[in-house]
Structure 1
Amino acid sequence: MDVELEPGREAVVRVPVATLWASPDAVRPVDRPALAGDPDVPAWVAGLDHDQQVGDCVLSQLLLGEQVLVTELRADGWAHVVAVEQPAAKLDPRGYPGWLPTAQLAPLLPQRQRSPLFVIDALVADLHATPGGPPALPGVVLGTRLHRAGPLFDGWLPCHVPGHTEPLWVSETDVVPLPAERPEAKEVLAVADRLRGLVYIWGGLSSLGIDCSGLVHLAWRRFGVTLPRDADDQAEATTPLALGEELPGDLYFFARPGRRIHHVGIVTAEPQGDQRRMLHACYRQRRLVEEQLPADRLATLVGAHRV
């Protein structure tokens, strides 16, 4: 019996990276590659100019297999969803709300969710129809969780993939078991540091393009830890430290006077006097960089927190 998408039911993302939009009317001509049933996110990112990288039409992104609650289906091919794996308390207690092309979703099949979990550890990996065969689903990104579908075969792991009736295969070199224990902060920092130089995309949440809070969310997701999606919510969900007590892997939060937190970075070194260093997706430079905090950035530093 076929299972259809329905409002009020959960579904899963069936593409490597799905972009969550503010509204169907907010998308721009340049966004066309990201809207297809099989989106070409690298082409979309490559086509954005300096200003388009920070368009507020993009809210977040979801990875292959990520669960959503469908709240509305439109006849023009758009679905309003709540991304239940991306906490956003100020927007919706259920998760992050926004719009996706319906074609990028598949019905949730619970029986496939009971198998052991692996996570993509490569920055980008391809899934194959047969071990070592041509890619069937290219561009699966770091932090994507895969449900094992059988035993390892000749260095290839079969996995259940939404939208595919037969298992797809991933190289064992591209995945690791989802950790059972909470990681040390320095391990999370090491994963985040592998993204250094990545392009800044407002709302980005993948190794193809990312924003500041997306970096923090994704780095912890890689280890099975769910943090909120936005920086101000991340501050609420973590433990404040006295400035000077922060260690590599902790978080710096930033806000202008009288405003809510707008930026987050990951501490990369113990402070030396007034000198502090962090890894962050930098809006100004449109890149993920590790740097000493300049004076104007220090002026908006409102705290250090620990996950």
Structure 2
Amino acid sequence: MATEPAVGFVATPVATLWSDPAAVRPVDAPALAPRADIAAWVSRMDHDQRVGECVVSQLLLGERVLVDELRPDGWARVVAVEQPAARLDPRGYPGWMPAAQLAFTAGPEPSLVVDAVTTGLRDRPGGRVVLPGVVLGTRLAPAGPPVDGFQPVHVPGLERPLWASGGAVAPWPSPATGVLALARRLVDRVYVWGGMSGDGIDCSGLVHLAWRRLGVRLPRDASDQADATAPLPPGEERPGDLYFFARPGRPVHHVGFVSDRGPGHLLHACYRQRLVVEEPMPAERAATLVAAHRVVSGPR
């Protein structure tokens, strides 16, 4: 009889999901620690290392995974069930991560979401930041009423709650702003292949994360996002809709938001510029534009 996979919960602010443990490079050490330092990791990488395909995605604090394998060398083969990836695994996005970045005790159901691009959790109200780098879209479970403008929250792997600034969290889901305004908060952030945080993000990660903040679960990869959204007749796109790009005879490889800055303007995490940018669509990008789609459920 097959054994059901264990359920784990991400216990570091941002955990990186790798294609294979053997693909990890020396420069990746800060991302492998039990409390990964994603800002230090991204700052150490050069222009080319930021687009290495050893990274497939990233997971946020508290995100649930199925653990298919725990290896003696400390690596776990997991499936990120909150990141649909139908082409890879019907259960979610598969990959490898350090087992030390997981906790295996379920906490209360989250009802808050981080609304800041990045925030830190403190050891007491107004106290020392002990868990920096918690990012936009992270769901948290309250651990009691606010005190002096700080909200106690449960953190996987910790017995005592930590404290978030009340201004950094909001009820979840709470469509307090449009998806385009959320994505715009990440303009000028660094492009990192597979990234999904303010320290580094890719094109489909930007789309997934902005909609995730609003309580809408989109797939992780651009091609799957195209399958999960509704195509529009030419010229009917509106700000906040999605542009998809593909080369002739190839699957979708890029996605970005329709901008409200003018006809044909695009907000996207740009591989070429290695930044999140909002710009008139370049001619070479327009040549591969294949469709505009709309997310048909959830807040706009």
Distance 1:194 1:128 in 2: 24
Shift of residue 271, structure 1, vs aligned partner: 6.3
Aligned 8 A contact 2:113 2:173 in 1: no
Paired residue secondary structure (2:72): coil
Q: What displacement does 1:39 show? A: 1.2
Tell me which residue corresponds to 2:101: 104
Q: Distance in 1 between matches of 2:151 and 2:126?
A: 11
Q: 1:269 offset after TM fit, Å?
A: 2.5
CA distance in 2, matches of 1:279, 1:270: 9
Aligned residue number for residue 130 of structure 1: 124
Show the 5 A alignment for 1:1-307: 8-109=5-106, 112-114=107-109, 117-179=111-173, 183=175, 187-269=178-260, 272=263, 276-307=264-295
Aligned residues: 293
Which runs of no fewer than 5 residues in structure 2 stay unpaired? Answer: 296-300
Letter in 2 for 1:262: H
**1:190 aligned counterpart, secondary structure:** helix
**SS of equivalent residue, structure 1 residue 72:** strand
Tell me by how many angstroms 1:56 deviates: 0.3
Any idea what the Cα deviations from partners look like across 1:139-180, whole Å, max 9, x if unmatched? 111111100111111111111110110111111011111125
Aligned identity (percent) is 64
Alpha-carbon distance in 2 for matches of 1:148, 1:270: 38
Amino acid aligned to 1:76: D
The answer (yes or no) to whether the contact 1:189–1:249 under 8 Å persists in 2 is yes
Structure 1 stretches lacking a partner, 5+ long: 1-5
Deviations 1:83-103 (A, max 9, x none): 000000000000000000000
Deviations 1:112-161 (A, max 9, x none): 333x5111111111111211111121111111110011111111111111
SS at match of 1:232: helix
3-state SS of paired residue (2:218): coil
| TM-score using structure 2 length | 0.95
Matched-pair contact (CA < 8 Å) for 1:33–1:39: yes
Matched residue of 1:219: which SS? helix
In the alignment, the residues of structure 1 paired with residue 281 and residue 139 of structure 2 have an alpha-carbon distance, to the nearest angstrom, of 34
Shift of 1:7: 6.9
Following TM superposition, the consecutive aligned residue runs of length 4 or more in structure 1 with deviations greater than 3 angstroms are none
d(CA) in 1 for partners of 2:13 and 2:173?
Answer: 22
Q: Look up the equivalent residue of 1:241 and give its one-letter code.
A: L
